[in-house]
Amino acid sequence: MAPDSAPERRDPAVPLLAVDDLRVSVEGSEILRGVTLEIAPGEVHALMGPNGAGKSTLANVLLGHPGYRVTGGAIRLNGEDVTSWPTEVRAKAGLFLAFQYPEALSGVSVTQFLRQAMSARRGIDLSVLEVRLAMTEWMDRLGMDPAFGERYLNEGFSGGERKRNEILQMALLEPEVAVLDETDSGLDVDALGVVGRGVTTVRGLHPTMGVLVVTHYQRILRDLVPDRVHLMLDGRVVESGGSDLAAQIESNGYDAWRA
């Protein structure tokens, strides 16, 4: 049964996140065809592959997107099977998704949004003052203007501002596992560096947090050096390795694994 608050880790030998032979369909078409991977506390994993490989599908399924149907396998957080849990319960338990295209919410300020999200995650009703103090501290670390908190969520934000806001959310919610779904999409080199350094800063203060970076390219991995890299093709992880695998993919493309 799903808990009302974040679970305590009971056994350090149990993976932080385990995806076991996961199979997922959309409207009768199988998208994920037996995906398996494990992330230990403090590890960064990169999931690479071409468009249509199933990378973003996996990211969305991890957070319980209702548009996808799990037909086999399991998702476990700290050893607990969360496969059937709704999105909001997974989020409370410590799963976080940084979206590829974060949506704007007119009339809802960044501060209001974060107060609600942080209160749900911690299981207590935080005051506006508590949230603002925490935001101010993290905005300073991330090089953000404090006035940012009064703007409506993602409304009129540049691509870089939207992604930086996702990093701020990640910092304040202190997830067990953060899934970054193509966070590098549409960013120039400077903005990409800001995001990479921001995630590194958050990891420095939350060293047990696991990170899954979904990306097409190696460039974000220069700041977020992965412990493991997984290559996905046609809904399957066809190879896993160290950070050098990302360089091989960047240099050689996907043809060598399609044979």
Does 69 score more than 90 pLDDT?
yes
> How many Cα atoms within 13 Å fall on the side-chain side of residue 254?
16
**pLDDT averaged over every residue in the chain:** 87
In which residue are the tokens 């501290």 written? Answer: 137
Confidence of residue 258 (pLDDT cuts 50, 70, 90): confident
What is the average pLDDT across 79-103?
Answer: 89
User: What digits encode the pLDDT tens for the residues 92-132?
Assistant: 999 999 876 667 678 889 899 999 999 999 999 999 999 99
Confidence of residue 149 (pLDDT cuts 50, 70, 90): confident
What is the average pLDDT across 186-213?
Answer: 82
What is the average pLDDT across 38-46?
Answer: 95
Does 215 score more than 50 pLDDT?
yes
Residue type (1 letter), 227: D
Does 253 score more than 90 pLDDT?
no
Confidence of residue 183 (pLDDT cuts 50, 70, 90): confident
HEC-encoded secondary structure of the chain = CCCCCCCCCCCCCCCCEEEEEEEEEECCEEEEEEEEEEECCCCEEEEECCCCCCHHHHHHHHCCCCCCEEEEEEEEECCEECCCCCHHHHHHHCEEEECCCCCCEEEEEHHHHHHHHHHHHHCCCCCHHHHHHHHHHHHHHHCCCHHHHHCEECCCCCHHHHHHHHHHHHHHHCCCEEEEECCCCCCCHHHHHHHHHHHHHHHHHCCCCEEEEEECCCHHHHCCCCCEEEEEECCEEEEEECCHHHHHHHHHCCHHHHC
Comparison of pLDDT for 228 and 107, the residue scoring more: 228
Does 6 score more than 50 pLDDT?
no
Comparison of pLDDT for 238 and 3, the residue scoring more: 238
pLDDT computed for residue 181 by the predictor? 87
User: What digits encode the pLDDT tens for the residues 233-251?
Assistant: 999 999 999 999 998 988 8
Does 5 score more than 60 pLDDT?
no
Does 187 score more than 70 pLDDT?
no
In which residue are the tokens 């949004």 written? Answer: 113
pLDDT computed for residue 9 by the predictor? 47
Pair of tokens at residue 242: 């160290």
Domains and CATH numbers, the chain: 17-102+176-258 (3.40.50.300)
**Among residues of the chain, what percentage have pLDDT more than 90?**
54
